[in-house]
């Protein structure tokens, strides 16, 4: 028997009379005596298999009606239009095979009738992802990546990979995971920032990288993990405004692509996706502080980082994606370019969804001496950055770029409560397995 000719989702009443072979999981079994139902589930949907003793033969019928839930099964049969069946058809099988039987009891119930604890779900993630609403998010995530890659190529960009095993911190301060690297100490990289900037000096002009970043922060929130996927972009001969346009375009493109290509998944998630309109609103840090001061009990000073409460307030007030621009140079990294005429303000920006930050970016410092000065002002040691600074001494184009968190983009797009719902095997303070 050919392993599969169709997915469940590809079958419709119009295929009445067609012989098909389906393969998937035994989602449900119902036994009514002389007739029994097996609901087969694959990643595109469910199909009702009506087990008729006369068609299957006595032994096969007996075997088929006793299949344990979630076993892997293969069914060959004929499509029959049947108004009473879900989606208007049933399959009348001539052959039913169990390719791999599932043990009883299951570690969790993938039929979504029972809601269970996140930890239980993550412990049995393979089973959890069999739930259509969990799987849907990851399929959409893949579509988001496809749309972004398309978008970057259309914008003349080159995809690159930079090392994740590195000798130095990108920003000092931020916690890094140390690893042993032969006789040396090394770290897992917290961001491709320094490397993608060096590629501007390499003349690569416009690059993007989609890869993991590692943060050894002990945060325990619904939007932080210790390993995350970052979508990083760096563009030569561009300023902050240029890459903000590139960024809002990327986000809008991801939404519209998902809306056009992920019907089934959006339906499973019960979402009517609204594509955000570009351009996104631009609000300066100073304006944001003023808005926040309308709220009672705000004690923030110019120069303070915006706290979660303020971000939340701004998000609720603005209600859609927006950019926060013109940050105090003191709270943005050393590689962010200060304005020439008011060096206390810099060309750094954050892309915000009403719920949280999605991306950070900036026009970068491309002047070697200014960069050294900025590193020193941040209390860091330029010697430790020699491999990076060298790339600024032999011709460095002006450049700008950003880093966008993939899971945050997906979790806000799909209204997921927890970033762990947008990461297949999340890594946090407590979880290293599976
Ligand atoms: P936050 O202020 O939300 O902690 P950040 O400013 O420290 O984030 P950046 O260094 O600006 O993060 O990283 C760029 C983007 O990468 C962030 O906007 C976010 O989307 C994503 N990101 C950063 N850290 C994490 C993390 N620990 N878990 C998930 N995504 C992250
Ligand atoms: Mn940031």
Is 90 exceeded by the pLDDT of residue 219? no
From the candidates 27, 121, 223, 364, which is the catalytic residue?
A: 223
Two tokens, residue 424: 């297949």
Q: How many CB atoms lie within 10 A of CB 56?
A: 21
- Coil, strand, or helix at residue 49? strand
pLDDT at 173: 62
* Mean pLDDT over each residue of the chain, to the nearest integer: 95
pLDDT at 420: 97
Cβ-Cβ contacts under 8 Å for 227 (sequence gap 6 or more):
212, 213, 214, 215, 426, 427
Each residue's pLDDT tens digit, 253-267: 999 999 999 999 999
Q: Which of 191, 212, 228, 346 to mutate to test the pocket of ligand 1 (most atoms within 8 A of CB)?
A: 228
Residues having CB closer than 6 A to ligand 1 are 215, 224-225, 228, 230, 357-360, 403, 405, 407-408
- Residue 359 alpha carbon to ligand 2 centre in Å: 6
Each residue's pLDDT tens digit, 324-383: 999 999 999 999 999 999 999 999 999 999 999 999 999 999 999 999 999 999 999 999
From the candidates 28, 95, 171, 217, which is the catalytic residue?
A: 217
**Distance, C-alpha 425 to centroid of its chain:** 12
Q: Is the pTM of this model over 0.85?
A: yes
Distance between CA 263 and CA 145 in Å, rounded?
17
- Residue 74 alpha carbon to ligand 2 centre in Å: 48
Distance between CA 278 and CA 350 in Å, rounded?
16
Atom 21 of ligand 1: nearest residue by CA position: 405
Q: How confident is the model at residue 220 (pLDDT cuts 50, 70, 90)?
A: confident
- Residue 89 alpha carbon to ligand 2 centre in Å: 51
Helix or strand run (H / E) with residue 75? strand 72-81
Ligand that lies nearest to the alpha carbon of residue 215, given by its number in the listed order:
1
Is 80 exceeded by the pLDDT of residue 269? yes
Cβ-Cβ contacts under 8 Å for 379 (sequence gap 6 or more):
172
Contact, 92 vs 77, CB < 8 A?
yes
DSSP letter for each residue of 240-301 = HHHHHHHHHHHHHHHHHHHHHH-HHHHHHTT--PPPPPSSPEEEEHHHHHHHHHTSTT----
Rounded to an integer, the average pLDDT of 147-162 is: 98
Helix or strand run (H / E) with residue 193? helix 193-201
- Residue 159 alpha carbon to ligand 2 centre in Å: 22
Q: Which of 211, 226, 357 to mutate to test the pocket of ligand 1 (most atoms within 8 A of CB)?
A: 357
Ligand that lies nearest to the alpha carbon of residue 191, given by its number in the listed order:
1
Two tokens, residue 52: 């008729």
Each residue's pLDDT tens digit, 273-297: 999 999 999 999 999 999 988 776 7
Distance between CA 423 and CA 54 in Å, rounded?
47
Rounded to an integer, the average pLDDT of 39-68 is: 95
Q: Can you name the residues that pair with 184 across neighbouring β-strands?
A: 181
Q: Is 344 an annotated catalytic residue?
A: no
Which ligand 1 atom minimizes the distance to the CA of 230?
Answer: 16
Q: Can you name the residues that pair with 31 across neighbouring β-strands?
A: 36
- Residue 380 alpha carbon to ligand 2 centre in Å: 19
Contact, 396 vs 368, CB < 8 A?
yes
Between helices 240-261 and 132-154, what is the axis angle to 10°? 130
- Residue 423 alpha carbon to ligand 2 centre in Å: 19
Distance, first Cα to last Cα, the chain: 35
Which ligand 1 atom minimizes the distance to the CA of 215?
Answer: 27
pLDDT at 1: 72
Contact, 338 vs 329, CB < 8 A?
yes
Ligand that lies nearest to the alpha carbon of residue 222, given by its number in the listed order:
1
Atom 27 of ligand 1: nearest residue by CA position: 224
Atom 2 of ligand 1: nearest residue by CA position: 357
Distance between CA 188 and CA 178 in Å, rounded?
7
Which ligand 1 atom minimizes the distance to the CA of 403?
Answer: 14
Q: How many CB atoms lie within 10 A of CB 301?
A: 6
Q: How confident is the model at residue 169 (pLDDT cuts 50, 70, 90)?
A: confident
From the candidates 357, 368, 427, 431, which is the catalytic residue?
A: 357
Distance between CA 26 and CA 33 in Å, rounded?
19
From the candidates 360, 366, 399, 407, which is the catalytic residue?
A: 360
Helix or strand run (H / E) with residue 346? none
Which ligand 1 atom minimizes the distance to the CA of 402?
Answer: 14
Count of H-run helices and E-run strands, the chain: 13, 16
Distance between CA 386 and CA 359 in Å, rounded?
27
Is 80 exceeded by the pLDDT of residue 145? yes
Distance between CA 328 and CA 304 in Å, rounded?
8
pLDDT at 329: 98
Is 80 exceeded by the pLDDT of residue 170? no
Kind of pairing between the strands at 356-363 and 281-284: unpaired
Q: Is 360 an annotated catalytic residue?
A: yes
DSSP 328: B
Contact, 30 vs 37, CB < 8 A?
yes
Each residue's pLDDT tens digit, 26-53: 999 998 887 899 999 999 999 999 999 9
- Residue 142 alpha carbon to ligand 1 centre in Å: 20
């Amino acid at each position: 028997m050919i392993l599969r000719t169709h997915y469940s989702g590809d079958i419709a009443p119009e295929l009445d009379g067609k012989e098909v072979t389906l393969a998937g999981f035994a989602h449900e079994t119902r036994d009514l005596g002389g007739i029994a139902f097996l609901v087969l589930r694959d990643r595109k949907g469910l199909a009702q298999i009506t087990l008729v003793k006369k068609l299957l033969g006595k032994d096969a019928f007996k075997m088929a009606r006793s299949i344990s839930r979630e076993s892997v099964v293969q069914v060959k049969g004929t499509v029959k239009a049947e108004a009473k069946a879900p989606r208007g058809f049933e399959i009348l099988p001539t052959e039913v095979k169990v390719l791999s039987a599932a043990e009883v009891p299951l570690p969790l119930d993938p039929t979504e009738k029972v809601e269970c604890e996140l930890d239980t779900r993550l412990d049995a993630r393979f089973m959890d992802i069999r739930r259509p609403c969990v799987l849907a998010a990851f399929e959409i995530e893949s579509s988001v990546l496809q749309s972004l890659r398309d978008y970057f190529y259309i914008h003349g960009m080159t995809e690159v990979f930079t090392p994740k095993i590195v000798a130095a911190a990108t920003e000092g301060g931020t916690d890094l995971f140390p690893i042993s690297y032969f006789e040396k100490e090394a770290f897992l990289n917290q961001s491709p920032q320094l490397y993608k900037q060096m590629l501007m000096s390499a003349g690569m002009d416009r690059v993007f990288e989609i890869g993991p970043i590692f943060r050894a922060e002990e945060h325990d929130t619904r939007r932080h993990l210790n390993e995350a996927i970052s979508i990083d972009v760096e563009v030569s001969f561009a300023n902050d405004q240029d890459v903000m346009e590139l960024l809002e375009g990327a986000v809008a493109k991801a939404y519209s692509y998902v809306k056009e290509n992920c019907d089934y998944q959006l339906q499973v998630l019960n979402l009517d996706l609204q594509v955000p309109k570009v351009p996104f609103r631009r609000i300066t840090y100073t304006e944001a502080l003023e808005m926040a001061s309308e709220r009672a009990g705000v004690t923030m000073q110019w120069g303070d980082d915006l706290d979660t409460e303020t971000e939340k307030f701004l998000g609720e007030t603005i209600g859609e994606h927006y950019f926060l621009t013109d940050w105090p140079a003191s709270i943005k990294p050393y590689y962010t370019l200060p304005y020439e005429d008011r060096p206390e303000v810099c060309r750094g920006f954050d892309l915000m969804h009403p719920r949280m930050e999605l991306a950070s970016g900036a026009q970068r410092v491309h002047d070697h001496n200014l960069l050294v000065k900025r590193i020193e002002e941040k209390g860091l040691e330029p010697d430790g950055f020699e491999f990076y600074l060298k790339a600024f001494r032999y011709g460095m184009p002006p450049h700008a770029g950003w880093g966008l968190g993939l899971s945050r983009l997906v979790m806000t797009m799909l209204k997921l409560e927890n970033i762990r719902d947008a990461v297949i095997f999340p890594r946090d303070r407590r979880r290293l397995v599976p």
